[in-house]
Amino acid sequence: MDIRSLRYALTLADELHFGRAARAHYIGAQPFGRRIQELERELGVALFERTSRTVALTEAGRRFLPRATRVLADLEALMRVSDVDDSDAMLRVGVLGFGLADRWSATRQLLDRHQPQLRLSYVELDWENQYDAVRSGDVDVAILHDVGGAEDLRVEHVMDVERCAVVPAESELAHATHLTPEVISDRPCIRPIGQPGLAAWAAGRYPRHGAEVRSPLNIPSAVAMSGALGVYAEPARRYLPNPDIRYITLDGPPAIIALASRPQDHRESTTAFRRAVHATAGLTQLAATEPPDSSP
């Protein structure tokens, strides 16, 4: 999504006049209008109502404004971060499972553009060590599944993703479109090993001597091997396909994907990464702007 077009849209929302808004950016009214139209096409909604005399925000436009304002604030904060010096140019990033999923590319591109000297080092995490790795300094920041119990860390919400039941392909549940916790509560499930809040989130029945996993990446193979059910987050459908299992939407609380760091860590490299992650999250939310309800 083009950042300049976001700025144009915010100016037009203030001015409600194409000519004045265009002049504020030293651009002609026609190319300015084309950029607004391109942004609306990308979002799939009309942000402005136009007549020969007036310009007004649509309902979608009113929803869009605060989101766009937050995105630009995050991007401007990233650009204000001082250049990372050579002694601080390596950032160890702990990642649980798929981490940021389809937001990794945009996050890396923002960092490459604004902090080209910053290098990221990947460190694999599991549910058991995801918080402790940050506490101990084994990683500088972590993208993790927040299940509570880390009040001593700076834990910042990034996104919510719906949860899925992971079921064997031959199971009678494999053809369901969605499941409820009650349906799986009387079936053996894979036990996730980690903080106390994790088992409660997964909401399964864990038989004695049943299968256990410490990394969410191992859930598909554990389900395929044991025939027990598992619970994971929705992006696993795309990142961990397996012909022997099926992912079925599961009612209940989403997985909270969060960014964790030490509260006393104020280095430019850590700050730059945090700003880039939040800016990327905001851009993704903008792209998900819903069209107004057109039902009668």
101 φ/ψ angles, rounded to the nearest 5 degrees = 55, -125
Neighbours of 242 (CB within 10 A): 15
Token pair listed for 9:
């849209």
The confidence score (pLDDT) of residue 114 equals: 83
Environment class of 3 (CB within 10 Å of its CB; exposed 0-12, middle 13-18, buried 19+): middle
Contact 214, 126 (CB under 8 A): yes
Amino acid making up residue 103: R
The confidence score (pLDDT) of residue 294 equals: 38
Amino acid making up residue 261: S
Work out whether strand 119-125 and strand 154-161 pair parallel, antiparallel, or are unpaired.
unpaired
Domains of the chain (ranges; CATH) run 3-80 (1.10.10.10), 86-159+257-286 (3.40.190.10), 163-253 (3.40.190.10)
Flag residues of the chain having pLDDT under 50.
290-296
The confidence score (pLDDT) of residue 81 equals: 62
The confidence score (pLDDT) of residue 285 equals: 64
CA 152 to chain centre: 23
The confidence score (pLDDT) of residue 284 equals: 66
Contact 239, 98 (CB under 8 A): yes
The confidence score (pLDDT) of residue 279 equals: 85
